[in-house]
Copies of this chain bind each other. A is one copy, B any other.
């Protein structure tokens, strides 16, 4: 078996914050990085070329959605996910588990895996750790995630421990399957990306001792890198920050650390301060479509009547196409008129805000002034009240 093209090099540290380069089969990603979410093979309301123009180096694809439609077997026949969607940079796919828990109908979790009915046509499916690995091998993403069991918040310690332990057992099965896939020993899979890395996932709800046990157990299985799952599920931000803080020390410093499904701009800064390197979240894209814009002075809701004749750009400190070209008054008009362009221009801005925040974070770490950046970032955001 040839050596995996996956690697990670930390180039700068500042406190617990790290700057580095993650290399994948489809190229390098500067970290800390934010991954826009491309649920169904497209980041909603923005073209790939605009995404590239914003500097997005990696996107996320949702295994649950792509498995159900158009199907991972079909995508494999069409040359893999990169070729199918026309995106040549890195892609990370999740395991599908989170959507099974949040979207699918009549799901039933057992030791074997998660049985569920499709939210599209009601068809019955069984997602096992092996199946999640197979689907992602068919998709040919650069980073595949193991199937985990994510509990809701709040969750008692007992059920949280049970889910964490099942996640570890599933992780062992997923790793075994990945080894077999890499050895071309799984006939049902068409590998389009032989350089696919596999990340483990730490669970354990809000219990530091469970998180430590989960991290140690995951690391013992020897994944290419590790994620923290089961956060941003309704717990207060301080609790999330505390759990991140108490988990990252048990994850190897030589591997990227991925905080799944997080979060607000503040969450990104606070999590980088605690040693996180990778993020994904639907907030910038989903909120754009409902008219909420992230700005350097807080969130604004473009529907607000106060913007009816406001000729200022959404964020005067922003240099994106939307802010260079359009006023709040025009964006409000487009939103109220139901124009598709409202979603596109808002999405462009919000993603630029997130990606630019990551660039500024990386610069601050490189110049060893992350703490002053962090302070200024929070102060500026809190200076102005956020729109309702």
Contacts and interface: CB of A to CB of B under 8 A. Distances in A.
Interface of A: 40-42, 44-49, 65, 69-70, 74, 77-79, 84-86, 308-309, 311, 321, 325-327, 329-330, 333-334, 336-337, 339-341, 343-345
Given A74-B308, A327-B84, A41 B333 contact: yes
B84 A44 contact: no
A111 B40 CA distance: 55
Nearest to A347: B340
A78 B311 contact: yes
A84 B42 CA distance: 30
A334 to B, nearest CB: 6
Given A47-B321, A85-B330, A321-B49, A344 B336 contact: no
B333 A45 contact: no
Contacts of A45: 340-341, 344
Contacts of A327: 78, 84, 86
What 6 A-B pairs have minimum CB-CB distances, sorted nearest first? A45-B340, A86-B325, A40-B337, A42-B341, A70-B333, A86-B326
Contacts of A308: 70, 74
Contact of A344 (B47, B85, B309): B47
A261 to B, nearest CB: 21
Contact of A339 (B42, B78, B311): B42
24 contacts: A40-B333, A40-B334, A40-B337, A41-B330, A41-B337, A42-B337, A42-B341, A44-B339, A44-B341, A45-B340, A45-B341, A46-B341, A48-B325, A49-B321, A69-B333, A69-B337, A70-B333, A70-B336, A74-B309, A79-B311, A84-B330, A86-B325, A86-B327, A340-B340
